[in-house]
Chain A
Amino acid sequence: MNDRTESLLLALPGLLLLVLAFFLPIGQMLVLSISGPDGPTLSHFARFLSDPFYLGILWRTVRLSLLITVICALIGFPLAYIMARVGPRLRLWLVVMVILPLMTSVVVRTFGWMVLLSRSGLIPELLRDMGLVGRSFALMQTEAAIVIGMVQVLLPFMTLSILGVITRIDGRLEEAARTMGCSFLQSFRTVVLPLSLPGIVAGSLLCFTLSTSLVCDAQSARRHANTSVGGIDLQIGYPNAGLAVCCSTGGHIIRWHPAGTGALYQDDGLQQWLSQSRHGCVRLP
């Protein structure tokens, strides 16, 4: 057996899994999105792109994801730098602290934020007491709450991506920059920042894709109406950004009813698809 077939055999199980669990359903979705009652059609796309409701959701998703990504980068880059430059023991503790939110259950995490952010929670209370905000001020169920919750969850992805790159930057480069007339901040800007760019880009891509799909906490934080494409995706119990996008591009949308009764509004296309693919998990608790 030569090397080529050997590596092919080794890759086979992984490839098979990818094809079965990813490419096949995605392909099916794509086909579905252009199939109508009378053969192939682009009418689903036309409907999606002409309906201000869907476009609004898309825009909000992109806008929030960008904002979350930028905030993650602004917090994650200095944090990763500090983690890379401190001693190994302190670094370990910082890593544990950063990934702790990932290891906490969604429910616990969300209730934590409710304690802090709800109308009678710690932060609004404090702000009210200091006279900074009015009586009706609330953080829970606002976009700000979505952003705060998502930043907490996504920060590890950004921080660890950047950390990996910064630890590989030779510390003597910064020292050399200092001896050549750079202040600390200048050496940061002229040496560390350009050299850690690959990490920042990787982290940002991760954060952006994840935040377009992952809005668990956001949903609890902001309970009314559809907030984002990812939110819709979550509600049909299929946590995959790609599918969610296909889903919405295909025009198969369930809406979380604004009145909050838990009733589902579905359009015909989706119902048809759901019964076909036997994805029964449609309702959110």
Chain B
Amino acid sequence: MANVRLSAIKKSFGKTDVLHGISLEVASGEFVSLLGASGCGKTTLLRIVAGLESVTAGSVEIEGVEVTRLPPEKRDIAMMFQSYALLPHLDVAENVRFPLRMRGIGGREEQAEKVKAALETVQLEHFADRRPRQLSGGQQQRVALARAIVSRPKVLLLDEPLSNLDARLREDMQVELIEIHQRLGLTTIFVTHDQEEALSLSDRVVLLNAGKIEQEGTPAEIYSQPATGFASNFIGSANLLPADIVAGDAGPMAKFSDGQTLQLGPDERVRGPVSIALRQEDLSLSATGDGPKAKVRTRVFLGARNRYVLSLAGEPLRALTANDVEFSNGQSVTLSIDPQRVRVLPR
């Protein structure tokens, strides 16, 4: 059963249209990510679900009840903000108790127990009487999480909650979020611009672009079968090269503007002018051999890997290699890639 149902949501701020008719269903207990670049409308969509933003057109349902015109406090939701939005004049325990107090859930003792349990969930039970500003960013963030789950809302809304943490803490929190979601089974909508975060956390990823849904599917689907140029560029930051499809001895081939060709899988059906999407981690480089040649422009040392920026038919092309692969600038290298890993997208 759908827990959250958005039907043809439109939103305009003045003359600017931010959302162009978005329809989305989130099943009970599902973890859905809204993924997109900044300004794509993902946060606006989340705020519409929360009731912090009104819709220009369309409707919002939570558990079968239309809530489009209801204020946030009448919807059984919890939201975690990017800035955490902890109340600075209350201590940690009071912050976590706040939603229980305001919604009138349970007596004083029951509330205290729930607060304790929620703080234990995020391993902050020893910080109950601290003020938010006495805590580190990571700890504040966990308090915000405890506060969001303490009342067991019907829908948990997370607005880029991990973006203010350093890389190490972020990984820890990702694991924690997954575990908490598995344990509590809360319906969760998670907004992020970080594709890795979206792919690793969610049951389903909804890719938004310029106020429209570009593609939705499981993380594996989104990653391996991007439906559009935008999707393949955004997810895994693939290289997009313009090309034409021509017939070759061993099936269809992609012909670049400088005449070089790249072998495609035998059952590739798309014809005409296309974009060839090549993941930078799927490309391998060698000094000799058959295949399209590209020129090395720069090398970026990434520690565990090298990233080469190449030039193929005048287009920039990025490739990730092991860190012991060495080419010099200006050198001509041969590209090879498994034909099955090449995505052909109509242009």
Contacts and interface: CB of A to CB of B under 8 A. Distances in A.
B102 A172 contact: no
Interface string A171-182: 011011111111
A175 B99 contact: no
What does DSSP make chain B's interface, helix, strand, loop or mixed?
mixed
A186 interface: yes
Interface stretch (B15-23, B76-84, B174-182, B232-240): B76-84
Contact of B79 (A170, A176, A184, A195): A176
A183 B83 contact: no
A195 B88 contact: yes
Nearest to A193: B89
Nearest to B150: A180
B347 interface: no
Nearest to B159: A172
A179 B71 contact: no
A175 B77 CA distance: 12
B72 A172 contact: no
A181 B50 CA distance: 11
Nearest to A183: B73
Contacts of B78: 179-180
B127 interface: no
A285 to B, nearest CB: 51
Task: Report the contact-size class of chain A (Cβ under 8 Å from the partner).
Answer: 10 to 19
A182 B87 contact: no
Contacts of A179: 50-52, 72-73, 77-79, 157
A115 to B, nearest CB: 42
Contacts of A191: 87
B327 interface: no
B73 A178 contact: yes
Contacts of A175: 52, 72, 79, 81, 85
A183 B71 contact: yes
A183 B103 CA distance: 10
A194 interface: yes
B73 A173 contact: no
Interface string B150-175: 01000001000000000000000000
Interface string B48-59: 001110000000
Contact of A170 (B73, B83, B103): B83
A162 B238 CA distance: 53
Given A194-B89, A195-B88, A182 B102 contact: yes
Interface string B91-106: 0000000110011000
A186 B81 contact: no
Contacts of A184: 71
12 contacts: A170-B85, A173-B87, A177-B87, A178-B73, A179-B51, A180-B102, A181-B73, A181-B102, A190-B98, A190-B102, A195-B88, A195-B89
Interface of A: 170, 172-173, 175-184, 186, 190-191, 194-195
Interface of B: 50-52, 71-73, 77-79, 81, 83, 85, 87-89, 98-99, 102-103, 147, 151, 157
- Name the 4 nearest CB pairs between A and B, nearest first: A181-B102, A176-B85, A180-B99, A181-B103
